Chain A
Amino acid sequence: MSPLKERFEGLLGTIVRLSTGQRILVSIAAVIFAIGVGVLVILAAGSVASCGSPALYIMGVEFCYNPLEVWLVMFDGSFGGNFEISRTLRWTTLLLFTALSFAIPYKAGLFNIGAQGQFVLGSLGAAVGVIWVATVVPGGAVGRIVLVPTGLLAGAAVGGLYGFLPGYLKVRFEMNEVVTTLLFNFIATAVAFVLVDRYFVDESIQGTQTEAIPEAAELNPQFFANSADFSLPVFVFALGIVAAAYWLLTRTTVGYELRAMGSQQKAAIFGGVDERFTTLFSMTTAGAVAGIGGALYVLMVLGRWQTGPPPLGFDGIAVSILAGNNPLGLFPSGLLFGALQSGGQAIQFQLGIPSELVGVLRGLIILLVATPELFRMMGKRLNRRGVIDIETEGSN
């Protein structure tokens, strides 16, 4: 190989690496930006809220919350100790599933906004499935071996079916999956409520919830504090599923076909890829993965199904988008959102700041990551002023 050739290839390699690097830069910048906007939101909220002793004075204005303190409490609340870390990892574990549920169809060129509904119905399916099967199997280790897979399979089946439906509506009736999956979330919440209220309600206690699942089916906390509802093997299982998804997308024939369809539909069809298959496969897989997440929420966290599920399906979208929809990026991104979730509980508990703040940050991060052009422009401007020196892509 001639030196010239070598240099040329080296250069191409740099460009490829740079663009992945740039993507990571954009994600980091988006998070920093969102945290900055969060400071403004906290200050604004602190200036209108009423409190006995203001935490901060700036130019004579009283602020009830000190942003620095808020972020410290948030950090402490997510990584400050054994309990906090396991609470963070609990959310991370669940988010990995709902994030995959967005990432896989995205690779096939589809927007699955329906992970929330798939998660909700999957969790109900798991709870009901486990409670039913528990009536015919003994407790203890044997029960565990039967009941845990039953719960996971039931969650996967119900969630998968609920993902399959919008896929089917798309291939059969050309209905846009963004619209259908959005609507399906609302339907799922109501259907789950009615099903439990009518057929599976635990009448011994108040509220709309199922009976508790038998102890044999519960995924007990291990190695970490009991009250955090977190099990390390489950976390490892989640990482395994993410790895499997990575393998599926990059190594297998089906994964290749999904990516071709998502990258350039016409070329994929030219290459003999069946659009109906990739649509149904990716949507069903997505639903099943979200459903497994739902099952784990019941088996590991709640021990039963009850109304008012957390918005893990929507958080999953943010996790996936922040990770560039690449399974390899899901862990750091999921960890961040797990920490936000965990820290959100801490600021609400300790400072009285509504944990809904986390919802705002989630939306901001999604918005900013979807806008790489913003950072490219800023980079250019800084570049022109000579502040920083980064390569920007040449032509447009």
Chain B
Amino acid sequence: MSVAVHLDGITKRFPGGVLANDQIDLEIEQGSVHVLLGENGAGKSTLMNILYGLYEPTEGTVRIDGETVDFETPQDAIERGVGMIHQHFTLVDPMTVLENIALGWEPIRYGGLAIDDGAVEADIRELSDRYGFGIADDIHTPVEELSVGVQQRIEVVKTLYRGADIFIFDEPTSVLTPQEADQLFEVFEELTAQGKTIIFITHKLDEALTVADRITVLRDGRKVGTVDGAGTTQDELARQMVGRDVLLNVDKEPVNRGDPQLSVSDLSVTNDQGIQKVSGVDLTVHRGEIFGVAGVDGNGQSELVEAITGLREHTAGDISIDGREIGDLSRRERMALGMSYIPGERQERALVLDFDLVQNAVLGSQRDDQFRDGRQIDWDAVREHTEEIIETYDVRPPNPQALARSLSGGNQQKFVVGREFLREPDLVVAAHPTRGVDVGSMEFIHDQLLEMRDRGVAILLVSASLDEVTSLSDRIGVLHDGAFADVVDPESVSKEQLGLLMAGEQIETERAVGPQ
């Protein structure tokens, strides 16, 4: 087989000195699936953005079919047959499938006075049939009305329509159910069977092993090595990715379950567009336990959490803390009842990025007596409190005047966790508490969560990481399409079973999961 893509000594240094890629060599065979594996920040996306013409490499050359190319824009890459499907779809929501697929490549008529939509439609039907995408009925539907899985297929068709031979998929499964992911992998087979080349960026080991002909592991911007998909194991890949043996097994005390702290019954919530995202959820979190919520992103997790924490109104049902109905209380009143919330969108929500740490330390407690002096904020007290957070939670740099924006993701999260835990809550709602943080901070945050649990705090943990949910939780509710597919005991359920539940299928398990 011939080599479709050659990368020779690619180095990418960003303004400000960050070295994202360091002397990377790569060969990708035509008609194969080549996986780029690595942790967040390993440099996978940067490397592929270079191949796609979004970034220019600081050093190194790119060859396509043996010919050296110098892409200045994605347009150049597309013309050489390189297409990229981003994690965040580049679809224009209110425009139709046809308009999106043809965008930038419209066949024009009468000198630009009209577009030959008939020809576009015929092409889309032909592609849809040849590869079995099944989107022919949706050609005139605005993409915002279609499911995420279908939208992704439209991205693939769009790339095909532009004549791509080389497909780059950037973390495509993070928004899919395991079943939708399997369908995507079937598309991979269809594409390679027709001679197309696929580069698949992921950090999920099992996916890499499922689809890869070859696997290249990146770490800290460097290439660790390339192996055959058939000749390697999860353990080996994991070691290469992380650079050391990883143990996600957390030591934890047996659960000592107290009285119910948070009770939710028959809760329904709609999203901003008025679409029902949570439908009749019941759940109870007791003191001293961690209740985990697993599920594919977008199955109602954020709406559930927002309704509980007072950021979103619910349409039906009851929410109570310690037996007291709180459904009508404002966000502030709920916090006053001892609720702490570690939001998933740390940079958007948990911190005012342009405020310094002192001003961020009082966010949420600005009206508490502790920090008040009449109408004024007692800034001296806040400053002391800030230093306490920084010291106890090892926030670096330990400078209360540093802007929140200037901290690394892990330190931002440690600061947020510290602030929320030092409130001395009776209930903690933690959404994706370790998303995007380094391994060290992750372990620290896990320890802190378990310590809170052992002190008798009720914890609701929502995470897209199955490992995190299964290793920390005492019970797991699997959310599918806005409702719990089941509530299970993490000790007695396999990953495969969880995957099926996440896809909305019922499984037979021993249902010894404690009081409801």
Contacts and interface: CB of A to CB of B under 8 A. Distances in A.
Given A266-B349, A267-B348, A272-B330, A260 B367 contact: no
A212 B311 CA distance: 54
A252 B375 CA distance: 6
B335 interface: yes
B377 interface: yes
Contact of B343 (A8, A256, A270): A270
A12 B401 contact: yes
B209 interface: no
A395 interface: yes
A8 B397 contact: yes
B23 interface: no
B311 A269 contact: yes
Contacts of B350: 267, 270
Interface of B is mostly: loop
Range for the number of chain B residues in contact with chain A? 35 or more
A396 B311 contact: no
Given A269-B311, A272-B364, A253 B332 contact: no
Most chain-A CB neighbours within 10 Å: which of B16, B349, B352, B372? B352
A108 to B, nearest CB: 13
B83 to A, nearest CB: 27
Given A252-B376, A257-B366, A272-B335, A267 B349 contact: yes
Nearest to B334: A272
A266 B345 contact: yes
A264 B354 CA distance: 8
A273 B359 CA distance: 14
Most chain-B CB neighbours within 10 Å: which of A251, A263, A271? A271
A308 interface: no
A378 B364 CA distance: 42
A251 B376 contact: yes
Contacts of A264: 348, 351-354
B334 to A, nearest CB: 8
A356 interface: no
A44 to B, nearest CB: 39
B363 interface: yes
B89 interface: no
B407 to A, nearest CB: 12
Interface string A270-286: 11111000000000000
A165 interface: no
Interface string A90-103: 00000000000000
A268 B350 CA distance: 9
B352 A268 contact: yes
B1 to A, nearest CB: 41
A279 B348 CA distance: 20
Given A253-B367, A264-B354, A269 B331 contact: yes
A310 interface: no
A395 B14 contact: yes
A389 interface: no
Given A263-B352, A270-B341, A395-B15, A256 B366 contact: yes
Interface in A1-26: 5, 8-9, 12-13, 16
B376 A253 contact: yes
Given A256-B366, A263-B354, A263-B355, A270 B311 contact: yes
24 contacts: A13-B401, A252-B376, A252-B377, A253-B367, A253-B376, A256-B362, A256-B366, A260-B355, A260-B363, A263-B354, A264-B348, A264-B354, A267-B349, A267-B353, A269-B311, A270-B311, A270-B341, A270-B343, A270-B349, A270-B364, A271-B363, A272-B366, A273-B366, A395-B14
